[in-house]
A and B are shown apart, each in its own frame.
Chain A
Protein backbone atom coordinates (compact mmCIF):
# COMPACT_ATOMS: atom_id res chain seq x y z
CA UNK A 1 0.00 0.00 0.00
CA UNK A 2 2.78 2.34 0.91
CA UNK A 3 4.66 1.78 -2.32
CA UNK A 4 1.54 2.70 -4.25
CA UNK A 5 1.21 5.83 -2.16
CA UNK A 6 4.82 6.75 -2.82
CA UNK A 7 4.25 6.22 -6.52
CA UNK A 8 1.35 8.64 -6.48
CA UNK A 9 3.36 11.24 -4.59
CA UNK A 10 6.24 10.85 -7.02
CA UNK A 11 3.89 11.30 -9.97
CA UNK A 12 2.36 14.35 -8.34
CA UNK A 13 5.75 15.91 -7.60
CA UNK A 14 6.85 15.22 -11.15
CA UNK A 15 3.84 16.91 -12.67
CA UNK A 16 4.18 19.90 -10.41
CA UNK A 17 7.85 20.27 -11.16
CA UNK A 18 7.04 20.38 -14.83
CA UNK A 19 4.18 22.77 -14.26
CA UNK A 20 6.25 25.28 -12.37
CA UNK A 21 7.08 27.64 -15.16
CA UNK A 22 3.87 27.23 -17.07
CA UNK A 23 1.22 27.85 -14.46
CA UNK A 24 0.33 30.98 -12.48
CA UNK A 25 1.97 31.49 -9.12
CA UNK A 26 -1.16 31.01 -7.07
CA UNK A 27 -1.63 27.59 -8.60
CA UNK A 28 2.01 26.52 -8.38
CA UNK A 29 2.19 27.09 -4.63
CA UNK A 30 -0.44 24.47 -3.99
CA UNK A 31 0.09 22.40 -7.12
CA UNK A 32 1.04 19.20 -5.29
CA UNK A 33 -2.18 19.33 -3.29
CA UNK A 34 -4.31 19.73 -6.40
CA UNK A 35 -2.54 16.91 -8.21
CA UNK A 36 -2.61 14.63 -5.15
CA UNK A 37 -6.36 15.17 -5.08
CA UNK A 38 -6.66 14.70 -8.82
CA UNK A 39 -5.01 11.29 -8.53
CA UNK A 40 -7.38 10.24 -5.76
CA UNK A 41 -10.32 11.31 -7.89
CA UNK A 42 -9.07 9.25 -10.83
CA UNK A 43 -8.49 6.22 -8.66
CA UNK A 44 -12.00 6.39 -7.16
CA UNK A 45 -13.51 6.97 -10.59
CA UNK A 46 -11.70 4.07 -12.22
CA UNK A 47 -12.59 1.58 -9.49
CA UNK A 48 -16.20 2.63 -9.03
CA UNK A 49 -16.94 2.76 -12.74
CA UNK A 50 -15.62 -0.74 -13.37
CA UNK A 51 -17.23 -2.29 -10.30
CA UNK A 52 -20.41 -0.36 -10.94
CA UNK A 53 -20.56 -1.67 -14.47
CA UNK A 54 -20.30 -5.25 -13.24
CA UNK A 55 -22.97 -4.83 -10.60
CA UNK A 56 -25.14 -2.78 -12.93
CA UNK A 57 -25.05 -5.52 -15.52
CA UNK A 58 -26.15 -8.08 -12.95
CA UNK A 59 -28.98 -5.84 -11.81
CA UNK A 60 -30.06 -5.18 -15.42
CA UNK A 61 -30.20 -8.92 -16.12
CA UNK A 62 -32.16 -9.43 -12.90
CA UNK A 63 -34.58 -6.73 -14.03
CA UNK A 64 -35.62 -8.75 -17.07
CA UNK A 65 -35.42 -12.09 -15.33
CA UNK A 66 -38.25 -14.58 -15.34
CA UNK A 67 -38.14 -14.86 -11.57
CA UNK A 68 -40.30 -12.26 -9.82
CA UNK A 69 -38.01 -12.10 -6.77
CA UNK A 70 -35.08 -11.03 -8.90
CA UNK A 71 -37.20 -8.63 -10.93
CA UNK A 72 -38.62 -6.91 -7.89
CA UNK A 73 -35.31 -6.85 -6.07
CA UNK A 74 -33.62 -5.22 -9.06
CA UNK A 75 -36.47 -2.75 -9.44
CA UNK A 76 -36.14 -1.77 -5.78
CA UNK A 77 -32.37 -1.40 -6.15
CA UNK A 78 -32.79 0.96 -9.09
CA UNK A 79 -35.62 2.84 -7.48
CA UNK A 80 -33.93 3.48 -4.16
CA UNK A 81 -30.50 4.42 -5.45
CA UNK A 82 -31.76 6.59 -8.28
CA UNK A 83 -34.52 8.16 -6.24
CA UNK A 84 -32.31 9.54 -3.49
CA UNK A 85 -29.49 12.05 -3.83
CA UNK A 86 -25.92 10.71 -3.85
CA UNK A 87 -25.00 13.02 -0.99
CA UNK A 88 -27.75 11.56 1.17
CA UNK A 89 -26.52 8.05 0.38
CA UNK A 90 -22.95 8.96 1.28
CA UNK A 91 -23.97 10.52 4.57
CA UNK A 92 -26.34 7.69 5.50
CA UNK A 93 -23.51 5.19 5.16
CA UNK A 94 -20.65 7.25 6.57
CA UNK A 95 -22.33 9.23 9.34
CA UNK A 96 -25.46 7.14 9.84
CA UNK A 97 -24.28 3.54 9.69
CA UNK A 98 -20.83 4.57 10.80
CA UNK A 99 -22.23 5.80 14.09
CA UNK A 100 -23.20 2.22 14.95
CA UNK A 101 -19.58 1.66 15.77
CA UNK A 102 -17.30 -1.39 15.57
CA UNK A 103 -19.26 -3.40 18.15
CA UNK A 104 -22.40 -3.51 16.07
CA UNK A 105 -20.80 -3.60 12.64
CA UNK A 106 -18.27 -6.30 13.50
CA UNK A 107 -16.16 -7.43 10.58
CA UNK A 108 -17.70 -4.84 8.32
CA UNK A 109 -16.16 -2.10 10.43
CA UNK A 110 -12.97 -1.58 8.37
CA UNK A 111 -15.22 -0.72 5.43
CA UNK A 112 -16.96 2.03 7.35
CA UNK A 113 -13.82 3.25 8.97
CA UNK A 114 -12.34 4.99 5.98
CA UNK A 115 -14.06 7.72 4.05
CA UNK A 116 -12.37 6.46 0.92
CA UNK A 117 -13.83 2.96 1.33
CA UNK A 118 -17.32 4.29 2.02
CA UNK A 119 -17.00 6.61 -0.96
CA UNK A 120 -15.99 3.76 -3.22
CA UNK A 121 -18.84 1.50 -2.10
CA UNK A 122 -21.53 4.18 -2.35
CA UNK A 123 -20.32 5.52 -5.70
CA UNK A 124 -20.25 1.97 -7.05
CA UNK A 125 -23.76 1.16 -5.86
CA UNK A 126 -25.11 4.50 -7.03
CA UNK A 127 -23.70 4.22 -10.52
CA UNK A 128 -24.76 0.58 -10.77
CA UNK A 129 -28.39 1.63 -10.36
CA UNK A 130 -28.16 4.12 -13.25
CA UNK A 131 -26.19 1.71 -15.42
CA UNK A 132 -28.82 -0.97 -14.77
CA UNK A 133 -31.52 1.35 -16.09
CA UNK A 134 -29.42 2.28 -19.11
CA UNK A 135 -28.73 -1.35 -19.96
CA UNK A 136 -32.35 -2.26 -19.40
CA UNK A 137 -33.25 0.37 -21.95
CA UNK A 138 -30.66 -1.08 -24.29
CA UNK A 139 -31.97 -4.60 -23.81
CA UNK A 140 -35.56 -3.60 -24.39
CA UNK A 141 -34.65 -1.88 -27.64
CA UNK A 142 -33.44 -5.15 -29.11
CA UNK A 143 -35.81 -7.12 -31.32
CA UNK A 144 -37.72 -9.66 -29.24
CA UNK A 145 -37.11 -12.32 -31.84
CA UNK A 146 -33.44 -12.58 -30.95
CA UNK A 147 -33.99 -14.04 -27.53
CA UNK A 148 -36.59 -16.46 -28.84
CA UNK A 149 -34.33 -17.58 -31.65
CA UNK A 150 -31.45 -18.15 -29.25
CA UNK A 151 -33.62 -20.14 -26.87
CA UNK A 152 -35.04 -22.28 -29.63
CA UNK A 153 -31.52 -22.95 -30.85
CA UNK A 154 -30.91 -24.61 -27.50
CA UNK A 155 -29.09 -21.86 -25.64
CA UNK A 156 -29.85 -21.34 -21.99
CA UNK A 157 -31.25 -18.00 -21.07
CA UNK A 158 -28.01 -17.07 -19.35
CA UNK A 159 -25.93 -17.90 -22.39
CA UNK A 160 -28.24 -16.01 -24.70
CA UNK A 161 -27.89 -13.04 -22.41
CA UNK A 162 -24.16 -13.24 -22.30
CA UNK A 163 -23.40 -14.03 -25.93
CA UNK A 164 -26.06 -12.21 -27.86
CA UNK A 165 -28.20 -9.72 -25.99
CA UNK A 166 -25.84 -7.96 -23.63
CA UNK A 167 -23.13 -7.14 -26.16
CA UNK A 168 -25.70 -5.53 -28.42
CA UNK A 169 -27.35 -3.75 -25.54
CA UNK A 170 -23.96 -2.31 -24.59
CA UNK A 171 -23.40 -1.04 -28.07
CA UNK A 172 -26.77 0.65 -28.21
CA UNK A 173 -26.46 2.04 -24.72
CA UNK A 174 -22.88 3.26 -25.04
CA UNK A 175 -23.63 7.00 -25.43
CA UNK A 176 -25.92 6.89 -22.44
CA UNK A 177 -23.27 5.01 -20.50
CA UNK A 178 -20.74 7.66 -21.41
CA UNK A 179 -23.06 10.27 -20.00
CA UNK A 180 -23.35 8.35 -16.78
CA UNK A 181 -19.57 8.05 -16.52
CA UNK A 182 -19.21 11.82 -16.66
CA UNK A 183 -21.95 12.18 -14.08
CA UNK A 184 -20.09 9.69 -11.88
CA UNK A 185 -16.97 11.81 -12.16
CA UNK A 186 -18.91 14.87 -11.08
CA UNK A 187 -20.59 12.99 -8.27
CA UNK A 188 -17.25 11.78 -6.96
CA UNK A 189 -16.56 15.32 -5.76
CA UNK A 190 -19.05 14.69 -2.96
CA UNK A 191 -16.75 12.26 -1.17
CA UNK A 192 -14.92 15.35 0.01
CA UNK A 193 -17.73 15.76 2.51
CA UNK A 194 -16.75 12.49 4.18
CA UNK A 195 -13.12 13.47 4.73
CA UNK A 196 -11.70 12.09 1.50
CA UNK A 197 -8.95 14.30 0.11
CA UNK A 198 -9.86 14.00 -3.55
CA UNK A 199 -9.52 17.00 -5.86
CA UNK A 200 -12.56 18.67 -4.29
CA UNK A 201 -11.34 17.95 -0.77
CA UNK A 202 -7.92 19.43 -1.46
CA UNK A 203 -9.56 22.42 -3.16
CA UNK A 204 -11.68 23.22 -0.11
CA UNK A 205 -8.62 22.88 2.09
CA UNK A 206 -6.62 25.30 -0.06
CA UNK A 207 -9.54 27.73 -0.20
CA UNK A 208 -9.69 27.77 3.58
CA UNK A 209 -6.23 29.32 3.63
CA UNK A 210 -6.64 32.38 1.48
CA UNK A 211 -10.31 32.49 0.50
CA UNK A 212 -9.42 33.39 -3.07
CA UNK A 213 -11.89 32.43 -5.74
CA UNK A 214 -9.07 31.36 -8.07
CA UNK A 215 -8.75 28.21 -6.01
CA UNK A 216 -12.15 27.05 -7.17
CA UNK A 217 -11.46 28.14 -10.74
CA UNK A 218 -8.27 26.08 -10.93
CA UNK A 219 -10.21 23.13 -9.62
CA UNK A 220 -12.89 23.69 -12.26
CA UNK A 221 -10.23 23.69 -14.95
CA UNK A 222 -8.79 20.42 -13.69
CA UNK A 223 -12.22 18.76 -13.59
CA UNK A 224 -12.99 20.06 -17.09
CA UNK A 225 -9.71 18.59 -18.25
CA UNK A 226 -10.69 15.22 -16.85
CA UNK A 227 -14.11 15.49 -18.49
CA UNK A 228 -12.54 16.26 -21.84
CA UNK A 229 -10.15 13.31 -21.59
CA UNK A 230 -13.02 10.99 -20.65
CA UNK A 231 -15.23 12.28 -23.45
CA UNK A 232 -12.51 11.81 -26.05
CA UNK A 233 -11.95 8.26 -24.84
CA UNK A 234 -15.66 7.49 -24.88
CA UNK A 235 -16.06 8.88 -28.37
CA UNK A 236 -13.14 6.78 -29.60
CA UNK A 237 -14.74 3.61 -28.26
CA UNK A 238 -18.07 4.66 -29.74
CA UNK A 239 -16.55 4.90 -33.19
CA UNK A 240 -15.07 1.43 -32.89
CA UNK A 241 -18.34 -0.02 -31.65
CA UNK A 242 -20.27 1.42 -34.54
CA UNK A 243 -17.93 0.12 -37.19
CA UNK A 244 -19.04 -3.49 -36.59
Chain B
Protein backbone atom coordinates (compact mmCIF):
# COMPACT_ATOMS: atom_id res chain seq x y z
CA UNK B 1 0.00 0.00 0.00
CA UNK B 2 2.76 2.38 0.97
CA UNK B 3 4.66 1.81 -2.25
CA UNK B 4 1.48 2.43 -4.19
CA UNK B 5 1.00 5.77 -2.46
CA UNK B 6 4.61 6.79 -2.96
CA UNK B 7 4.42 5.84 -6.60
CA UNK B 8 1.21 7.81 -7.00
CA UNK B 9 2.68 10.88 -5.32
CA UNK B 10 5.77 10.77 -7.48
CA UNK B 11 3.65 10.44 -10.56
CA UNK B 12 1.44 13.27 -9.40
CA UNK B 13 4.41 15.47 -8.50
CA UNK B 14 6.12 15.01 -11.80
CA UNK B 15 2.97 15.62 -13.77
CA UNK B 16 2.04 18.63 -11.66
CA UNK B 17 4.39 20.92 -13.54
CA UNK B 18 2.87 19.95 -16.85
CA UNK B 19 -0.70 20.24 -15.62
CA UNK B 20 -2.73 23.26 -16.56
CA UNK B 21 -3.21 25.85 -13.85
CA UNK B 22 -6.78 25.55 -12.63
CA UNK B 23 -8.33 28.94 -11.97
CA UNK B 24 -11.76 29.51 -10.54
CA UNK B 25 -13.96 32.47 -11.34
CA UNK B 26 -17.54 33.31 -10.58
CA UNK B 27 -19.58 33.97 -13.70
CA UNK B 28 -22.23 36.28 -12.22
CA UNK B 29 -20.30 39.50 -11.80
CA UNK B 30 -20.48 41.46 -15.02
CA UNK B 31 -18.40 42.88 -16.54
CA UNK B 32 -15.72 40.99 -14.66
CA UNK B 33 -17.22 37.58 -15.20
CA UNK B 34 -20.49 36.47 -16.76
CA UNK B 35 -22.00 33.67 -18.79
CA UNK B 36 -22.74 34.56 -22.38
CA UNK B 37 -25.48 33.10 -24.57
CA UNK B 38 -23.20 30.29 -25.72
CA UNK B 39 -22.74 29.22 -22.11
CA UNK B 40 -19.12 30.36 -21.87
CA UNK B 41 -17.63 32.29 -19.01
CA UNK B 42 -16.25 35.60 -20.22
CA UNK B 43 -15.18 38.90 -18.74
CA UNK B 44 -12.38 41.04 -17.42
CA UNK B 45 -11.26 38.49 -14.81
CA UNK B 46 -11.07 35.77 -17.42
CA UNK B 47 -9.05 37.93 -19.78
CA UNK B 48 -6.63 38.90 -17.02
CA UNK B 49 -6.28 35.28 -15.96
CA UNK B 50 -5.47 34.27 -19.53
CA UNK B 51 -2.98 37.12 -19.87
CA UNK B 52 -1.25 36.02 -16.65
CA UNK B 53 -1.07 32.44 -17.81
CA UNK B 54 0.36 33.52 -21.14
CA UNK B 55 2.99 35.48 -19.23
CA UNK B 56 3.78 32.50 -17.00
CA UNK B 57 3.83 30.32 -20.09
CA UNK B 58 1.46 27.86 -18.53
CA UNK B 59 -1.80 26.49 -19.72
CA UNK B 60 -4.89 27.67 -17.90
CA UNK B 61 -8.16 25.94 -17.21
CA UNK B 62 -10.90 28.35 -16.14
CA UNK B 63 -13.60 26.91 -13.91
CA UNK B 64 -16.82 28.69 -13.05
CA UNK B 65 -17.75 28.34 -9.40
CA UNK B 66 -20.47 29.73 -7.21
CA UNK B 67 -19.33 32.50 -4.90
CA UNK B 68 -20.54 30.68 -1.80
CA UNK B 69 -18.26 27.75 -2.40
CA UNK B 70 -15.37 29.44 -4.12
CA UNK B 71 -13.02 29.63 -1.14
CA UNK B 72 -13.78 26.15 0.23
CA UNK B 73 -13.10 24.81 -3.26
CA UNK B 74 -9.65 26.40 -3.24
CA UNK B 75 -8.87 25.11 0.23
CA UNK B 76 -9.99 21.62 -0.77
CA UNK B 77 -7.75 21.69 -3.83
CA UNK B 78 -10.40 21.65 -6.51
CA UNK B 79 -8.41 24.41 -8.20
CA UNK B 80 -5.26 26.41 -7.55
CA UNK B 81 -6.22 30.06 -7.73
CA UNK B 82 -9.24 32.34 -7.66
CA UNK B 83 -9.44 35.24 -10.09
CA UNK B 84 -12.91 36.50 -9.29
CA UNK B 85 -12.60 40.12 -8.23
CA UNK B 86 -12.09 38.96 -4.67
CA UNK B 87 -11.31 41.59 -2.08
CA UNK B 88 -8.29 41.14 0.14
CA UNK B 89 -9.62 41.11 3.69
CA UNK B 90 -8.11 40.15 7.05
CA UNK B 91 -10.88 37.62 7.55
CA UNK B 92 -10.13 35.90 4.25
CA UNK B 93 -6.39 36.03 4.92
CA UNK B 94 -7.02 33.59 7.71
CA UNK B 95 -8.06 31.00 5.19
CA UNK B 96 -6.17 31.89 2.00
CA UNK B 97 -3.17 33.91 0.78
CA UNK B 98 -3.42 36.71 -1.75
CA UNK B 99 -1.29 37.94 -4.61
CA UNK B 100 -0.56 41.63 -5.07
CA UNK B 101 -3.67 43.60 -5.91
CA UNK B 102 -4.66 43.80 -9.55
CA UNK B 103 -7.11 46.64 -9.14
CA UNK B 104 -8.73 48.73 -6.48
CA UNK B 105 -12.42 48.58 -5.79
CA UNK B 106 -14.86 50.96 -4.19
CA UNK B 107 -18.32 50.37 -2.89
CA UNK B 108 -21.31 52.33 -3.98
CA UNK B 109 -24.85 52.66 -2.80
CA UNK B 110 -27.24 52.41 -5.70
CA UNK B 111 -30.87 53.44 -5.63
CA UNK B 112 -33.60 54.94 -7.79
CA UNK B 113 -33.13 58.58 -8.78
CA UNK B 114 -34.91 60.75 -6.29
CA UNK B 115 -35.15 58.12 -3.59
CA UNK B 116 -34.84 59.21 0.03
CA UNK B 117 -32.26 56.70 1.04
CA UNK B 118 -28.77 58.00 1.76
CA UNK B 119 -25.65 56.46 3.20
CA UNK B 120 -26.62 57.90 6.56
CA UNK B 121 -30.22 56.74 6.58
CA UNK B 122 -29.65 53.27 5.11
CA UNK B 123 -30.78 51.43 8.18
CA UNK B 124 -34.36 52.49 7.71
CA UNK B 125 -34.62 50.90 4.29
CA UNK B 126 -34.40 47.50 2.65
CA UNK B 127 -30.83 47.09 1.49
CA UNK B 128 -29.55 44.31 -0.75
CA UNK B 129 -26.07 42.89 -1.14
CA UNK B 130 -24.35 39.74 -2.25
CA UNK B 131 -23.82 37.23 0.52
CA UNK B 132 -20.24 36.66 1.73
CA UNK B 133 -18.92 39.84 0.11
CA UNK B 134 -17.38 43.00 1.48
CA UNK B 135 -20.51 44.80 0.31
CA UNK B 136 -22.60 42.74 2.68
CA UNK B 137 -20.06 43.19 5.49
CA UNK B 138 -20.07 46.96 5.05
CA UNK B 139 -23.86 47.04 4.70
CA UNK B 140 -24.26 44.96 7.82
CA UNK B 141 -22.09 47.37 9.76
CA UNK B 142 -24.30 50.20 8.58
CA UNK B 143 -27.72 48.66 9.18
CA UNK B 144 -26.84 46.55 12.17
CA UNK B 145 -27.08 42.80 12.63
CA UNK B 146 -30.88 42.93 12.69
CA UNK B 147 -31.41 45.50 9.97
CA UNK B 148 -33.37 44.78 6.81
CA UNK B 149 -30.46 43.41 4.85
CA UNK B 150 -31.35 41.04 2.01
CA UNK B 151 -28.63 38.67 0.97
CA UNK B 152 -28.45 37.24 -2.52
CA UNK B 153 -26.48 34.39 -4.03
CA UNK B 154 -25.24 36.62 -6.86
CA UNK B 155 -24.83 40.34 -7.45
CA UNK B 156 -27.00 40.06 -10.57
CA UNK B 157 -29.90 38.72 -8.52
CA UNK B 158 -29.68 41.73 -6.21
CA UNK B 159 -29.78 44.10 -9.20
CA UNK B 160 -32.85 42.28 -10.51
CA UNK B 161 -34.64 42.85 -7.22
CA UNK B 162 -33.58 46.51 -7.13
CA UNK B 163 -35.01 46.95 -10.57
CA UNK B 164 -38.21 45.21 -9.54
CA UNK B 165 -38.52 47.55 -6.60
CA UNK B 166 -38.31 44.88 -3.95
CA UNK B 167 -35.45 46.59 -2.20
CA UNK B 168 -34.77 50.28 -1.89
CA UNK B 169 -31.03 50.18 -2.41
CA UNK B 170 -28.03 47.97 -3.07
CA UNK B 171 -24.52 48.08 -1.81
CA UNK B 172 -22.47 47.03 -4.78
CA UNK B 173 -18.96 47.06 -6.10
CA UNK B 174 -18.15 50.11 -8.16
CA UNK B 175 -17.44 48.80 -11.65
CA UNK B 176 -20.28 46.26 -11.88
CA UNK B 177 -22.64 48.99 -10.71
CA UNK B 178 -21.43 51.39 -13.39
CA UNK B 179 -21.87 48.66 -15.96
CA UNK B 180 -25.44 48.01 -14.82
CA UNK B 181 -26.32 51.71 -14.58
CA UNK B 182 -25.45 52.12 -18.27
CA UNK B 183 -28.64 50.22 -19.10
CA UNK B 184 -30.67 51.59 -16.21
CA UNK B 185 -30.78 55.37 -16.33
CA UNK B 186 -33.55 55.58 -13.72
CA UNK B 187 -31.05 54.59 -11.07
CA UNK B 188 -27.97 56.31 -9.80
CA UNK B 189 -25.14 56.15 -7.32
CA UNK B 190 -26.15 57.73 -4.05
CA UNK B 191 -23.51 59.80 -2.38
CA UNK B 192 -19.81 59.45 -2.88
CA UNK B 193 -18.20 56.18 -3.70
CA UNK B 194 -17.10 54.47 -0.53
CA UNK B 195 -13.40 53.99 -0.20
CA UNK B 196 -12.63 51.26 2.26
CA UNK B 197 -9.20 50.67 0.81
CA UNK B 198 -10.50 47.63 -0.99
CA UNK B 199 -7.77 45.91 -2.93
CA UNK B 200 -8.68 43.10 -5.30
CA UNK B 201 -6.30 40.18 -5.43
CA UNK B 202 -5.88 36.62 -6.59
CA UNK B 203 -6.41 34.02 -3.91
CA UNK B 204 -4.18 30.99 -3.56
CA UNK B 205 -3.92 28.34 -0.88
CA UNK B 206 -2.18 29.25 2.31
CA UNK B 207 1.50 28.60 1.99
CA UNK B 208 1.43 28.25 -1.78
CA UNK B 209 4.21 30.83 -2.12
CA UNK B 210 5.49 29.34 -5.35
CA UNK B 211 2.29 30.07 -7.18
CA UNK B 212 1.84 33.40 -5.42
CA UNK B 213 5.28 34.65 -6.46
CA UNK B 214 4.77 33.39 -9.99
CA UNK B 215 1.47 35.27 -10.20
CA UNK B 216 3.01 38.44 -8.78
CA UNK B 217 5.81 38.33 -11.30
CA UNK B 218 3.36 37.71 -14.11
CA UNK B 219 1.17 40.56 -12.89
CA UNK B 220 4.12 42.98 -12.91
CA UNK B 221 4.88 41.66 -16.36
CA UNK B 222 1.50 42.29 -17.91
CA UNK B 223 1.33 45.75 -16.35
CA UNK B 224 4.76 46.59 -17.68
CA UNK B 225 4.18 45.36 -21.20
CA UNK B 226 0.77 47.00 -21.54
CA UNK B 227 -1.39 43.90 -21.90
CA UNK B 228 -3.18 44.76 -18.65
CA UNK B 229 -3.94 48.26 -19.89
CA UNK B 230 -5.19 46.78 -23.14
CA UNK B 231 -7.71 44.51 -21.39
CA UNK B 232 -8.75 47.23 -18.99
CA UNK B 233 -9.33 49.83 -21.67
CA UNK B 234 -11.41 47.37 -23.59
CA UNK B 235 -13.85 47.09 -20.68
CA UNK B 236 -13.63 50.42 -18.91
CA UNK B 237 -12.00 52.83 -21.32
CA UNK B 238 -9.17 53.36 -18.86
CA UNK B 239 -6.51 51.53 -16.94
CA UNK B 240 -8.07 50.65 -13.65
CA UNK B 241 -4.97 49.42 -11.89
Contacts and interface: CB of A to CB of B under 8 A. Distances in A.
Contacts of B163: 101
B132 interface: yes
A33 B160 contact: no
A195 B165 contact: no
Interface residues of A, number: 24
Interface stretch (B150-158, B172-180, B193-201, B229-237): B150-158
A71 interface: no
B166 A98 contact: yes
B151 A211 contact: no
Given A9-B146, A98-B164, A211 B131 contact: no
A193 B153 contact: yes
Given A9-B146, A98-B164, A98-B166, A205 B153 contact: no
Interface string A61-96: 000000000000000000000000000000000010
A36 interface: yes
B146 A36 contact: yes
Contacts of A208: 68, 131-132
Interface in A200-218: 201, 204-205, 207-209, 211
Looking at chain A's contact residues, the main secondary structure is helix
Given A204-B68, A208-B132, A115 B150 contact: yes
Contacts of A157: none
B84 interface: no
B71 interface: yes
Interface string B73-85: 0010000000000
A167 interface: no
A209 B163 CA distance: 28
A195 B150 contact: yes
Interface in B197-218: none
B95 interface: yes
Given A98-B164, A102-B164, 7 more contacts: A99-B164, A101-B164, A102-B165, A113-B166, A195-B151, A205-B131, A209-B132
14 contacts: A33-B145, A98-B164, A99-B164, A114-B166, A193-B153, A195-B128, A195-B151, A195-B161, A204-B68, A204-B131, A204-B151, A205-B131, A208-B131, A211-B95
Interface of B: 68, 71-72, 75, 91, 95, 128, 131-132, 145-146, 150-153, 157, 160-161, 163-166
